[in-house]
Amino acid sequence: GAVVSQHPSWVICKSGTSVKIECRSLDFQATTMFWYRQFPKQSLMLMATSNEGSKATYEQGVEKDKFLINHASLTLSTLTVTSAHPEDSSFYICSASGQHEQFFGPGTRLTVL
Amino acid sequence: SQQGEEDPQALSIQEGENATMNCSYKTSINNLQWYRQNSGRGLVHLILIRSNEREKHSGRLRVTLDTSKKSSSLLITASRAADTASYFCATGYNFNKFYFGSGTKLNVKP
Measured in angstroms, the CA of B99 and the nearest CA of chain A are apart by 7
Asked, as a colleague might, if the bond just before B8 is cis with ω within 30 of 0, I would say: yes
Q: What is the pLDDT of residue A31?
A: 83
Measured in angstroms, the CA of A59 and the nearest CA of chain B are apart by 10
pLDDT in tens, B89-99: 998 877 677 88
Asked whether B38 and B85 are in contact (CB, 8 A), the reply is: yes
Q: Which residues contact B92 (CB under 8 A, 6 or more apart)?
A: A102, B29, B30, B31, B32, B33, B98, B99
CA atoms within a 13 Å half-sphere pointing along the CA-CB vector of A54? 8
Q: What is the pLDDT of residue B62?
A: 98
* Cβ count near B36 (within 10 Å): 20
What is the average pLDDT score of chain B? 91
Strands B19-24 and B5-7: antiparallel
pLDDT-derived band at A1 (thresholds 50, 70, 90) equals low
pLDDT in tens, B17-66: 999 999 999 888 888 999 999 987 888 989 999 999 999 999 999 999 99
User: Is B91 an interface residue toward A (CB < 8 Å)?
Assistant: no
